[in-house]
């Protein structure tokens, strides 16, 4: 944030620059010198090179930056642009009160691709409450005219509206007024306050109530415009990144450069005490890397370790992050407190989560860490498994919604939900549901009718259902394949739980391996198992099935001896094996959690490696289904990095197994890949934590 002008033409009484504790603006030059900006650019360029950044964000700010005038502003922008490395893109914004905005400024901004954000507190009444000239005149008409100029003449520059909340304003009038300006985004900002200088309020959660009223309208309107506060809560509630500095645990990447070239912390901290944002550094003597070591700057980059003990124990910490750093201040304890808006933030976040029906499959941080560190605890894998059941159920329900009522749904409705859920949990049901949703016009393959029959049989019911015959057979998942030659349809009859299929000439029942008392389904019948990277094998002969049992017994014993803690987690995660053809190799499918494809190797040791490696891939797929480890917004996010993460995570278990045998292997390759992933810049904060946890495990083994 580059302070290019330190005075303002308005005198808003809620302004944190002039109206709060810090009065350092009085000693600063009015305008930033072009030479200072050149030095700013050199420092940003130096930082971009040292950190390998291909993009930097800068905001021209004040005071009121337009008071510089177009000529000085043009010179400052050119100085900034020319100081950056050629391969580093500049994402340049300006935040203005808008009253001076005219075509000259807009042409200048268009020439340099500067995006314009405007402060507006809502309708005329709301805006006039604070945003006035020193003599009390309203600024509303001029600001509205500036927004109209942007909206109609320079829509490519219009980046959004920033609204400071006053709970005395009517929330719906404020929202409607903001939306009427057609902004590309809206920021709803809590007024600046600390525990020593608390916000105006009548009740404990006034701000939550005010924001929730807007949220409900915004949701009912179909979310017509991004509202960063709401989008950030939704994103973090679903494991994604925070989208605003004032919420979430993302490390702060904001620094301020004052008009005299001094580096300061986020200027909202000005509300705490006089001199609060100072760092004692400046662009002439210090690099940005040096400023980053300043205690105040570093404190805002420590994620959960940087918030108070109360916040660390808070269930909405991922979304809240303890609120804006400045709002935590209290004389005596400094910033080691929850936000002065704590009750509001908690209430608002829970309201948003309730209204958008965020699935309650939250992965607690400790569970995620245990998965990242290696095989994961049983509790953590149970959470993943529950999440997968939920996803399957949601997808199958979506198929029902798409296809409409049918006799099979009628039958399923009569079965106890827990049994239906269990029947739906077969890994390849998700493959089926995804296929149906993608290709609703394809002819019915009878899977749903088959599932309804299996559910009715498990419930001990009596029923009959017409089921399509495909490739001369009816396949009932987890029961078997019934050969029904020369038919397009048949009747499946269930009598007190017993299944008979009309005109069936043969039945091939599914088989289970007994691995240490855990029944492992050998899936060699399901027509949908054919999704692995290798051709799937046909039905195993009895002799082959016997050999599989012997091999799995030996492999299970080996795992239990060498890595006993893997046995319970394998038992939770692995329900199905699919025999595949070719060289000994494993394979897992993202849509079939719980199942791995195996080409049986000649020795149990290799079978252990296949099972452990593929189960790891499966677990990571389950994590990625629930949490966002990769940042969609980064240009560097790539399929290659994701593939590397899958490979490295699989190798974590393989390495663990190998290192425990005599003369264990080195782990250089796995560690190197982890470094590449961390350097890719494509991870979210959660993603970084995950990969750093992997790194911690590898480092511990190295040591």
φ, ψ dihedrals at 490, nearest 5°: -145, 175
Of 339 and 588, CB closest to ligand SF4 = 339
Contacts of 545 (CB under 8 A, 6+ apart): 511, 522
Region for residue 124 given its phi and psi (left: phi exceeds 0; alpha: psi -120 to 50; beta: otherwise): alpha
Give the shortest CB-346-to-ligand SF4 separation in angstroms: 4
Of 64 and 206, CB closest to ligand SF4 = 206
Cβ atoms within 10 Å, residue 518: 16
Of 320 and 671, CB closest to ligand SF4 = 320
Give the shortest CB-324-to-ligand SF4 separation in angstroms: 10
Give the shortest CB-339-to-ligand SF4 separation in angstroms: 4
Of 345 and 585, CB closest to ligand SF4 = 345
Give the shortest CB-317-to-ligand SF4 separation in angstroms: 4
Of 3 and 346, CB closest to ligand SF4 = 346
Q: What are the residues binding ligand SF4 (CB under 6 A)?
A: 310-311, 314, 316-317, 320, 322-323, 338-339, 342, 345-346
Of 342 and 555, CB closest to ligand SF4 = 342
Kindly list the distances between the CA atom of residue 480 and the CA atoms of 37, 251, 353, 392, 546, in Å, as whole numbers in the listed order: 74, 53, 42, 21, 18
Give the shortest CB-37-to-ligand SF4 separation in angstroms: 37
Kindly list the distances between the CA atom of residue 179 and the CA atoms of 163, 165, 184, 191, in Å, as whole numbers in the listed order: 12, 15, 9, 20
Of 163 and 314, CB closest to ligand SF4 = 314
Buried b (16+ CB within 10 A) or exposed e, 646-673: bbbbbbbbbbbbbeeeeeeeebeebbeb
d(CA 694, CA 696): 5
d(CA 588, CA 528): 13
Contacts of 259 (CB under 8 A, 6+ apart): 3, 4, 5, 6, 28, 29, 30, 31, 32, 36
Of 325 and 646, CB closest to ligand SF4 = 325
d(CA 622, CA 637): 19
Give the shortest CB-470-to-ligand SF4 separation in angstroms: 54
Give the shortest CB-168-to-ligand SF4 separation in angstroms: 24
Q: What is the 3-state secondary structure (H, E, C) of 626-663?
A: HCCCECCCCCCCCHHHHHHHHHHHHHHHHHHHHHCCCC
Of 324 and 499, CB closest to ligand SF4 = 324
Of 236 and 588, CB closest to ligand SF4 = 236
Give the shortest CB-343-to-ligand SF4 separation in angstroms: 7
The DSSP code sequence of 463-509 is EEEEEE-BTTEEEETTTEEEE-TT-SEEEEEEETTEEEETT--EEEE
φ, ψ dihedrals at 3, nearest 5°: -80, 100
Of 59 and 342, CB closest to ligand SF4 = 342
Give the shortest CB-251-to-ligand SF4 separation in angstroms: 16
Give the shortest CB-233-to-ligand SF4 separation in angstroms: 11
Name beta bridge partners: 6: none
Of 339 and 682, CB closest to ligand SF4 = 339
Name beta bridge partners: 493: 464, 500
The DSSP code sequence of 278-311 is EEEEETTT--HHHHHTSHHHHHTTSGGGGS-HHH
Name beta bridge partners: 511: 522
Residue 66 DSSP class: G
Of 306 and 594, CB closest to ligand SF4 = 306
Kindly list the distances between the CA atom of residue 42 and the CA atoms of 36, 46, 47, 82, 155, in Å, as whole numbers in the listed order: 10, 6, 9, 9, 31
Give the shortest CB-166-to-ligand SF4 separation in angstroms: 21
Give the shortest CB-314-to-ligand SF4 separation in angstroms: 3
Give the shortest CB-633-to-ligand SF4 separation in angstroms: 24
d(CA 306, CA 311): 10
The DSSP code sequence of 553-610 is HHHHHHHHHH-TTHHHHHHHH--EEEEB-SSSEEEE-TT-TTEEEEE--SSHHHHHHH
């Amino acid at each position: 944030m580059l302070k290019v002008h330190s005075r303002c033409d308005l005198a808003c009484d809620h302004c944190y620059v002039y109206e709060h504790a810090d009065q350092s603006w009085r000693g600063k030059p009015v305008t930033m010198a072009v030479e200072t900006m050149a030095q700013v650019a050199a420092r940003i360029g130096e930082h971009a090179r040292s950190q390998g950044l291909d993009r930097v964000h800068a905001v021209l700010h004040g005071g009121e930056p337009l008071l510089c005038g177009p000529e000085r502003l043009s010179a400052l922008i050119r100085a900034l642009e020319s100081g950056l490395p050629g391969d580093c893109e500049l994402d340049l914004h300006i935040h203005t009160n808008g009253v001076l905005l005219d075509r000259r400024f807009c042409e200048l901004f268009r020439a340099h691709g500067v995006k314009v954000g405007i402060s507006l507190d809502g309708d005329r009444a709301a805006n006039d409450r604070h945003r006035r000239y020193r003599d009390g005149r309203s600024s509303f008409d001029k600001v509205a005219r500036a927004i109209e100029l942007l909206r109609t003449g320079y829509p490519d520059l219009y980046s959004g509206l920033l609204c400071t909340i006053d709970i005395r304003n009517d929330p719906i009038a404020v929202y409607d007024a903001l939306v009427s300006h057609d902004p590309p985004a809206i920021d709803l900002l809590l007024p600046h306050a600390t525990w020593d200088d608390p916000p105006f309020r009548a009740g404990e959660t006034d701000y939550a109530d005010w924001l929730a009223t807007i949220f409900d309208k915004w949701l009912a309107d179909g979310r017509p415009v991004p509202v960063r506060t709401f989008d950030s809560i939704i994103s973090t509630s679903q494991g994604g990144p925070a989208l605003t500095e004032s919420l979430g645990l993302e490390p702060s990447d904001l620094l301020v450069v004052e008009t005299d070239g001094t580096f300061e912390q986020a200027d909202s901290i000005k509300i705490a005490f006089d001199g609060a944002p100072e760092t004692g550094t400046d662009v002439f003597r210090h690099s940005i890397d040096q400023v980053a070591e300043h205690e105040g700057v570093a404190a805002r980059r420590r994620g959960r370790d940087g918030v108070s003990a109360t916040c660390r124990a808070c269930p909405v910490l991922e979304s809240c992050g303890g609120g804006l750093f400045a709002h935590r201040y209290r004389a005596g304890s400094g910033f080691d407190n929850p936000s002065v808006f704590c009750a509001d933030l908690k209430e608002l976040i829970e309201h948003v989560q309730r209204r958008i029906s965020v699935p309650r499959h939250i992965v607690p941080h400790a569970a995620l860490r245990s998965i990242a560190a290696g095989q994961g605890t049983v509790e953590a894998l149970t959470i993943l498994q529950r999440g997968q059941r939920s996803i399957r159920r949601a997808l199958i329900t979506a198929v029902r919604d798409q296809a409409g009522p049918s006799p099979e749904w009628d039958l399923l409705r009569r079965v106890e939900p827990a049994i239906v859920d269990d029947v739906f949990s077969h890994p390849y049901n998700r493959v089926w549901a995804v296929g149906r949703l993608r290709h609703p016009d394809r002819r019915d393959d009878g899977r749903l009718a088959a599932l309804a029959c299996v559910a009715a049989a498990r419930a001990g019911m009596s029923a009959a259902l017409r089921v399509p015959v495909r490739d001369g057979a009816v396949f009932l998942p987890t029961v078997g394949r019934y050969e029904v030659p020369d038919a397009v349809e048949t009747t499946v009859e269930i009598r007190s739980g017993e299944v008979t299929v009309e005109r069936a000439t043969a039945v091939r029942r599914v088989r289970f391996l007994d691995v240490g008392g855990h029944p492992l389904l050998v899936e060699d019948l399901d027509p949908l198992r054919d999704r692995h990277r290798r051709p799937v094998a046909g039905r195993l002969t009895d002799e082959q099935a016997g050999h599989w049992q012997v091999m799995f017994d030996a492999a299970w014993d080996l795992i239990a001896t060498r890595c006993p803690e893997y046995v319970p987690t394998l038992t939770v995660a692995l329900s199905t094996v699919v025999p595949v053809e070719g060289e000994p190799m494993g394979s897992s499918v993202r849509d079939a959690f719980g199942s791995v494809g195996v080409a049986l190797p000649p020795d149990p040791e290799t079978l252990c490696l296949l099972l452990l490696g593929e189960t790891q891939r499966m677990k990571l797929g389950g994590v990625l289904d629930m949490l966002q480890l990769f940042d969609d917004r980064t240009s560097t996010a790539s399929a290659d990095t994701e593939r590397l993460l899958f490979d490295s995570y699989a190798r974590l278990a393989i390495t663990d197994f190998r290192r425990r045998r005599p003369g264990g292997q080195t782990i250089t390759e796995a560690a190197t890949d982890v470094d590449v992933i961390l350097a890719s810049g494509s991870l979210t904060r959660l993603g970084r934590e995950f990969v750093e946890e992997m790194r911690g495990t590898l480092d511990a083994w190295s040591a």
